Amino acid sequence: MENLDKLLEYQKIDIELRKVLDEVERSDDGKKLEQAKTEFNNAKNTVTETEKAAESIVSFYNNALAFMTESDKRIEEIAAKMESTEDLEEQRALAEELEKLSAKTAEIEKRLGERNDRTDKVILAYLDGQERGKKMRSVYNNIKDRLNKFRQEKEPKINELKAKLDAIRPAIPADIMEIYDKITAERKYPAFVQAREAERNHYRCFCGLELSQKTQSELLEKGNCRCETCRRLIYLNK
């Protein structure tokens, strides 16, 4: 096969590069970073939800306060009217209105009491969410810094290997390079494999598959063939 040595050199460097990239991508910190991000987002959601709950509580308070103020005014008016009138009918009507107002006021006071419990809970959840969020953000930032540092440390090596690959690439036929890129895009390493002699005059692929008669003829004729299962390029060592 044309420029087989170049091809194998390319593959060797590419595998080395893949290992470094995998190291960066699969580092534990990367996983921890994802976790911290999820936890931070959960805390953020708690804060957002409790903020909404707090808003509804505040609006309830404001409405209750407005009603109480109005109600107080009206009660004073009624009391004044009751004192100034001798009319029994009117007094009875005013008393009825007073009773209704008192009932409504008592109910709102009761609900305000219930709200106090809920308010305390909302405030606690809010503070807890904020605290967790702060903690998680700091964890996240620490991990991110470490990961960046790790990447930076590996960067010169990655660049060096990439430059080497770029230098060899032109020496490899374009159609072969295309096959290589396609196989390695599926993370199948090595992509180019030497034919393994299974029995006399029989060959196997790297993946274990024994070559068919037809593929084997192609291998013997051209010096290379594609595996029928894994699609790797199999070459014959001469």
Q: Measured from the CB of residue 202, what is the shortest distance to Zn ion in angstroms? A: 14
144 vs 226 by CB, closer to Zn ion: 226
Two tokens, residue 121: 């809970």
**Residues 147-186: x where in contact with Zn ion by CB under 5 A, - otherwise, as a string:** ----------------------------------------
Which of 161, 205, 233, 236 binds Zn ion (CB under 5 A)? It is: 205
Asked whether 165 and 13 are in contact (CB, 8 A), the reply is yes
Q: Measured from the CB of residue 183, what is the shortest distance to Zn ion in angstroms? A: 10
Cβ count within 10 A of residue 34: 12
68 vs 209 by CB, closer to Zn ion: 209
Distance in angstroms (rounded) separating the CA atoms of residues 45 and 36: 14
Count of residues of this chain found to bind Zn ion when the rule CB under 5 A is applied: 7
Q: Measured from the CB of residue 228, what is the shortest distance to Zn ion in angstroms? A: 7
Q: Measured from the CB of residue 224, what is the shortest distance to Zn ion in angstroms? A: 13
- Rounded to a whole number of angstroms, the distance between the first and last alpha carbons of the chain is 9
219 vs 232 by CB, closer to Zn ion: 232
Distance in angstroms (rounded) separating the CA atoms of residues 142 and 145: 5
Distance in angstroms (rounded) separating the CA atoms of residues 80 and 88: 15
Beta strands in the chain, from DSSP E residues, in sequence order: 192-194, 196-197, 203-204, 224-226, 233-235
- Cα separations (Å) of 179 from 65, 169, 223? 76, 13, 16
4 vs 183 by CB, closer to Zn ion: 183
Distance in angstroms (rounded) separating the CA atoms of residues 37 and 45: 12
17 vs 205 by CB, closer to Zn ion: 205
Stretch that binds Zn ion, among 14-22, 30-38, 112-120, 205-213 (CB under 5 A): 205-213
152 vs 213 by CB, closer to Zn ion: 213
Two tokens, residue 27: 């580092």
Residue type, 63: N
47 vs 191 by CB, closer to Zn ion: 191
75 touches Zn ion (CB under 5 A): no
73: helix, strand or coil:
helix
23's CB contacts (< 8 A; 6+ apart) are 154
227 touches Zn ion (CB under 5 A): yes
59's CB contacts (< 8 A; 6+ apart) are none
Stretch that binds Zn ion, among 79-87, 145-153, 196-204, 206-214 (CB under 5 A): 206-214
Which of 82, 125, 207, 220 binds Zn ion (CB under 5 A)? It is: 207
230 touches Zn ion (CB under 5 A): yes
Residues that bind Zn ion (CB under 5 A): 205, 207, 209, 227, 229-230, 232
